[in-house]
């Protein structure tokens, strides 16, 4: 089994904070891959399903960020997991907004959630570092991470969460390099599409088309629409 942990703070007042992008990532994975409803487990909420070839539990600790390690430690001990089967999604000040990097072990760089994990399970788990950018001065960091994403951030945040969710099976199958490269490619494609003008259309001869089948009533089930609801648009 793999344990995917999203770091964040519980409560509606924190739901769209930059510090909660880890929660957003595992929410996106659950929605994209049809995981069942979240239920209370391990001092948090969890849901379980399959990604790639692996059985995966998604976990959101509800202990507040500074005590995230308590919930993760409970799950790790219950399932007798090795730390290379624990993948933690968290915000990263030292990466530009929209960038994602995967690494195993390392320091905590002042991140209280990672510090708590280190105290309870050690540091040799896999980290999915989700860039939120640095505000430029140390005294502005707390305000930056505990404030909501700006409306302008949604142009990269929605496609980033979708790319993370779409490619999460690579993480479950121990292919972190493929996950990282596919997410990077998805984000590069989004940026290029926004910057480049559409190519001129070449006129071509019309071909007869089969008559279309009437569309079924549309349902707002796409990941994008769910993300827009989460992001309050």
Interior angle at CA 205, CA 203 and CA 209, nearest 5: 120
Residues 19, 65 contacting (CB under 8 angstroms): yes
Residues 65, 142 contacting (CB under 8 angstroms): no
CA count, 13 A, side-chain hemisphere, 127: 23
String of DSSP letters for 30-83:
HHHTT----EEETTEEEEEEEETTEEEEEEEE-S-GGGHHHHHHHHHHHHT--G
Overall size of the chain counted in residues: 233
**Distance (Å, rounded) from C-alpha 216 to C-alpha 224?**
19
Q: How far is CA 51 from CA 48, 145, 184, 213, 219, in A?
A: 10, 30, 20, 33, 25
Collapsed DSSP state (helix, strand, coil) of residue 103: strand
**Distance (Å, rounded) from C-alpha 170 to C-alpha 94?**
24
Q: How many CB atoms lie within 10 A of CB 182?
A: 16
Q: Tell me which of 19, 90, 111, 144 is the catalytic residue.
A: 19
> Is 33 annotated as catalytic?
no
Active site residues: 19
């Amino acid at each position: 089994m793999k344990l995917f942990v999203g770091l964040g703070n519980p409560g509606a007042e924190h739901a769209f904070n930059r510090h909660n992008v880890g929660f957003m990532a595992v929410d996106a994975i659950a929605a994209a891959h049809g995981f069942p409803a979240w239920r209370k487990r391990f001092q948090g909420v969890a849901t379980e399903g399959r990604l790639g070839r692996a059985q995966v539990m998604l976990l959101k600790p509800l202990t507040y960020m500074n005590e995230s390690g308590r919930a993760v430690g409970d799950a790790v001990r219950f399932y007798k997991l090795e730390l290379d089967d624990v993948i933690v999604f968290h915000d990263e000040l030292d990466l530009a907004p929209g960038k994602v990097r995967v690494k195993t072990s390392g320091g905590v760089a002042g991140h209280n959630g990672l510090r708590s994990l280190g105290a309870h399970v050690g540091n040799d788990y896999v980290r999915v570092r989700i860039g939120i950018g640095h505000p430029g001065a140390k005294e502005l960091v707390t305000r930056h991470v505990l404030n909501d994403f700006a409306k302008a951030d949604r142009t990269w945040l929605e496609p980033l969460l979708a790319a993370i969710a779409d490619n999460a099976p690579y993480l479950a199958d121990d292919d972190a390099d493929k996950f990282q490269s596919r997410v990077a490619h998805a984000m590069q494609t989004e940026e290029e599409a926004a910057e480049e003008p559409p190519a001129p259309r070449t006129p071509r001869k019309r071909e007869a088309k089969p008559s279309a089948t009437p569309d079924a009533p549309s349902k707002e089930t796409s990941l994008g629409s769910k993300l827009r609801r989460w992001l309050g648009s």
